[in-house]
Amino acid sequence: MRPLGLAVVGCGRWGRNHVRVAASATNVTLVGVVDPDRAQRDRVARDHAVTGWSHLEQALEDPRVEAVVIATPATTHSDLVARGLVSGRHVLVEKPAAMSVADATALVRAAQEKGVQLSAGHTFLYSRPVRNMAAWLREGAPSAPWLIRSERLGGQRRGDCSVLWNFGPHDVSLLLHLVGDPVVEVAARGHHFPGGGHLDTVTVDVTFSSGVRGEIYLGWRHAGAKRSLRLLGEDWVLRYRHGHLDGGDVMLLGGLGEGPAADAALAAGCERDSRGALGGYGEPLRVQLEEFVAACRTGVTTLTGPNHLLAVTAVLEAAEYSAALGGLPYRLAPVAPALTAPGSPLSGVHEFATEEV
């Protein structure tokens, strides 16, 4: 498989991570970087001996560029992704891929019309512990989960979007993947702290078609950072903390007689240290890029491709609407036929409509 010619758009903190991973990937040729900030752009381009452009159009004029990674402020994503897709390039975009179902649907249609890949940067779904958790829920758990509670607390307040659109894509993506069923109802409440222009804290209640309940707690201002999941079943509870104990993940399973076998399945492909922390698995950002490149070459969409992108956007949009109305429940329902022809690489993608309960 020949290397994929790639340009990274955005040389901020997270964009530089994408540049680092792309520059060292064996299946990628990093062609250049795009950023309007000349000093920042030139520094990154010089460090990696690649071309630096001030505007996306300049990168899209370069025939070496087959795909672009968008790592810019959230409000710019839809426009930049659309321009990349219309030019016939594959696009991997940081979360949130879009900030409305209408925009997300338009992007999926553009990707389908051009026959290119569109994938969202939900990196947790490329993490080995999370993949182990999903496999165990489908194949090893003695019963289905009743409740999944996700907490993402503590972080820097953003000026371009609310905590719902900044933190929320991670948690919505995780819950959708772990449960594997459509969301049918969303209710959310949010709060502004003094001096902020967007919601600083949000709680989201999610109901899946199977009856599984999801609770999501998001907040920028918190006494320390907390990134955790708790899954509750009839006779078991599974706790997962990301980045706990000096950067290692911690996963604890309780309530099962067959604990050792289940624990081995949850730790598969990982190394566990003396404290029980998990590590030693591939960097999720790198795994994400590798699978994106494979999708570009084979035409088989990634785990976070159009279907997932649309579903995440629909839940977040519903939560935003519900929070604006003080927590009024909002019902989600699939509408319209699939956006693509049966059997195509993007088949099965649906639009979503929201309606007040």
pLDDT one-digit tens code per residue, 333-349 = 764 433 433 333 333 33
Pair 38, 16 in one domain: yes
- What pTM was estimated for this model as a whole? 0.91
Place of tokens 């509408």: 335
Question: Among residues of the chain, what percentage have pLDDT more than 90?
Answer: 75
The rounded distance, in Å, linking the Cα atoms of 130 and 48 is: 32
Pair 131, 276 in one domain: yes
State how far the alpha carbon of 175 is from the alpha carbons of 70, 151, 171, 207, in Å: 24, 12, 6, 11
Does residue 173 contact residue 119 with C-beta atoms inside 8 Å? no
Distance from the Cα of residue 51 to its chain's centroid? 28
Element containing residue 69 per DSSP (H, E): strand 67-70
Segment 277-290 mean pLDDT: 94
Pair 118, 47 in one domain: yes
pLDDT of amino acid 165: 96
Closest CA to 318 of 303, 328, 305, 307: 328
Q: What is the CATH number of the domain that holds 294?
A: 3.40.50.720
Omega before residue 345 within 30° of 0, cis:
no
Q: Is the per-residue pLDDT at 355 higher than 70?
A: no
Range of the domain at 71: 4-124+285-303
Residue at 109 is within a domain: yes
Pair 161, 278 in one domain: yes
pLDDT band for 224, please (50, 70, 90 cuts): confident
Task: Give the 3-state DSSP-derived string for 77-111, with helices as H, strands as E and coil as C.
Answer: HHHHHHHHHHCCCEEEEECCCCCCHHHHHHHHHHH
Domain count, the chain: 2
Please say which residue of 282, 314, 343 terminates a domain: 282
pLDDT band for 256, please (50, 70, 90 cuts): low
Pair 97, 32 in one domain: yes
Of the candidate ranges 49-53, 166-170, 273-277, the one whose mean pLDDT is the lowest: 273-277
Pair 10, 90 in one domain: yes
Pair 11, 104 in one domain: yes
pLDDT of amino acid 123: 95
Segment 170-176 mean pLDDT: 97
Segment 18-44 mean pLDDT: 97
Residue at 164 is within a domain: yes
Residue at 332 is within a domain: no
Pair 266, 239 in one domain: yes
Does residue 100 contact residue 317 with C-beta atoms inside 8 Å? yes
State how far the alpha carbon of 333 is from the alpha carbons of 104, 178, 194, in Å: 16, 20, 36
Segment 298-302 mean pLDDT: 96
* Mean pLDDT of the residues in the chain: 89
DSSP alpha helix (H) spans, the chain: 13-24, 38-48, 56-60, 77-86, 101-114, 128-139, 163-166, 168-179, 244-247, 259-266, 284-298, 306-324
> CA-based Rg of the chain, rounded to a whole angstrom?
20
Pair 222, 267 in one domain: yes
Residue at 340 is within a domain: no
Closest CA to 4 of 286, 300, 289: 289
Pair 209, 293 in one domain: no
The rounded distance, in Å, linking the Cα atoms of 28 and 4 is: 5
Pair 271, 139 in one domain: yes
Pair 140, 276 in one domain: yes
Element containing residue 187 per DSSP (H, E): strand 183-191
Q: What is the CATH number of the domain that holds 232?
A: 3.30.360.10
